[in-house]
Chains A and B, each alone.
Chain A
């Protein structure tokens, strides 16, 4: 009964307003005399001459007594510090130098990517200059992060194509193998194929009936330049080319 009365009292009374004397949330805590290290994350490409350099091209000074740790064992690395290892560097923001580096063979989850670290901590002799080359472009380029695009190619073949013949795509990426990609017949005049390609992929291709003697030609029967396809950022693409003639058929 008493407990119920206390609960009712809390419900009736107004909620107390936080006072300045109360402890502030951690994210707005006042700076302390002990600086918090900044964790720099990335792939290491060099470790020499007092610097650790990440694959972004960002170099950081090493403290004189820098400690090296293998992230997996917690001990000093038993392997040579070679390009390609991944690391988290503990950067002392006071001295702008790295006091400890944890190495691993796979990317580590914690820390700030080296490219996003404030520039004042990055060792760079010359003042930073903008690079107009890095302006966004119409076509992107393939990278590990590129997504797959479903590409549907539907080709119309000449009317004299033998009904039982198969149609293939030959590409520069397959060493111009005349049977690299086999197409499915859609009807008497059309063949199709769906392939998954990474955004930014560029390749050149031609159609064949299985050999270079039966490769496609232009309308006049002359050799044609390979077709070019650039996969741009989209979930799906359609390409509908036409073959006018085959090399071995009039």
Chain B
């Protein structure tokens, strides 16, 4: 009995020791808004630091208030401090002191009281009644980062900070171009820095310029208006909403919101179990002024269920599309002939099996197999075939090598993909792609890649196909094809076969992580016909791409190509992308 008690006591002591040690490790942060108001609140984007000065008042979600002269929070370290004439108001009473610091992941708060005399107190897990007095503190507990050489990106009167997800500034005055341009005070702005990648999902189609303004948000949501520009639509505004939950998300957008032709998008994803997930993509197109009854409307919904299997996975995908969602007009069009009534509303279903990569013995070679079944039904007929229903089956495989060492310090690599589809019209579609590369590091920061890409495709009847928005049918080529045929065949309308051979060389120079330059030259041989008046790709092409840092966190990427006058095009338009790293 004594031994049992002794063993139990030892076990309890060991557990207690373990818990104390465990508490020293950083804990996952919980969502707890911290409201800060001051004479001046500043956000330094490059340093990810928020500072506030002058009559600082900090209110935490647990009811604790801290007042002081200055506040600073490092968003990457999840700590904040209040210093100078500090008054700490807790459920255990008010305390006056010199400094207060909260290390949120460690559940530690450090306080330097001055009344009745200077001391050092540490609070554990929010227990303000029983501070640990005299305990040594981290040397940088109250260090106020010196940002005098930096300019703030946002200036405000108040900020609400959720250390897990966002900071909301109100009102927000932006200092752009390193302070050269200052905006007027704007409505609240939410800066989201959540580790949840679903906040990055974009439901807006491309634009040349996109400036989002997040006006509302929480740990699980984000609302933004976007000011956008593209050469076709010119300037317009859009709206986007994000909700994140568990391992899923929903994103709703309206783009553009300020022009008659509108696109409503809803994307959703949920991990229904560790081995399965379901996703939804819907798009609704309307032609309407404001939010009045639309003149014209069409759309589609696509649902995908994915299930992980042993060494493979399966996917079921259902797509329902409507070419016209409004009632049939008497004249055959809505308003004017540019908005015709189109009766088609195809339903597409696909089931796909996809194997994991498998090694072939000890050869170094690997392969991957995919197969699927598809069906499309449209009572008004599938394209020009007149058939109301079509089915398809496909198999595809890819075999690829690792990078083998070649002569003169080169690396050799190749891959070969083949796909064959049977359609019930009847018809067959074949595609083969061979890619071979030879690469060599010419200098520490200079890489050369020589490449050959041969893309070949054929079909028995170019017209007996269906355009599938449903990738699981195996008939949704990338990039998107307007005929349902593989892209290379789509470039040769009406032809039963096409081949494109591209021979290229690329030099990639990276003298520093802040600068990348890529130069490429390629020759394309397209058959059956490669003339300047066909869809065929240019025979010769040069491309250049420069990416460089313009501020501490911003990069600019500029691309341009030269087509040697192919189809009257000498230079391709510049492509600029500015992105934050």
Contacts and interface: CB of A to CB of B under 8 A. Distances in A.
Nearest to B147: A84
B413 A46 contact: no
B508 A184 contact: yes
Contact of A49 (B114, B135, B553): B114
B98 A219 contact: no
Contacts of B516: 182, 184
B531 to A, nearest CB: 23
A226 interface: yes
A82 B69 contact: yes
B144 A187 contact: no
A188 B510 contact: no
A82 B84 contact: yes
B195 A226 contact: yes
Interface stretch (A22-30, A69-77, A95-103, A172-180): A172-180
Nearest to B518: A184
Interface string A147-188: 000100000001110110000001111111111111011111
B313 A105 contact: no
Contacts of A47: 84
Interface range for B: 35 or more
A175 B415 contact: no
Contacts of A195: 513, 581
A53 interface: yes
A134 interface: yes
A57 B449 contact: no
B139 A221 contact: no
A125 interface: yes
B482 to A, nearest CB: 18
A171 B148 CA distance: 28
A223 B83 CA distance: 44
Given A45-B84, A45-B99, A196-B513, A57 B141 contact: yes
Given A130-B136, A179-B579, A190 B506 contact: no
17 contacts: A46-B112, A46-B114, A56-B142, A57-B110, A125-B134, A128-B136, A129-B133, A150-B513, A158-B357, A171-B581, A179-B579, A186-B439, A222-B308, A223-B269, A223-B277, A250-B352, A250-B370
9 pairs of A and B residues whose beta carbons are closest in the complex:
A176-B200, A126-B134, A220-B308, A46-B98, A59-B118, A220-B313, A188-B437, A126-B133, A45-B83
Given A48-B84, A55-B99, 9 more contacts: A59-B118, A115-B139, A125-B117, A172-B197, A179-B557, A184-B447, A189-B400, A249-B478, A250-B471
Interface of B: 20, 24, 48, 53, 69-70, 76-77, 83-86, 98-99, 106, 108, 110, 112, 114-120, 122, 132-146, 148, 192-195, 197, 199-202, 247, 269, 271, 275-277, 306-309, 312-313, 315, 352, 354, 356-357, 366, 368, 370, 396, 398-400, 402-403, 411, 413-415, 417, 435-437, 439, 447, 449, 451, 453, 471, 474, 478, 506, 508, 510, 513, 516, 518, 547, 553, 555, 557, 577, 579-581
Interface of A: 43, 45-49, 51, 53, 55-57, 59, 82-84, 105-106, 115, 123-134, 141-144, 150, 158-160, 162-163, 170-182, 184-190, 193-196, 201-202, 204, 206, 211-212, 219-223, 226, 244, 248-250
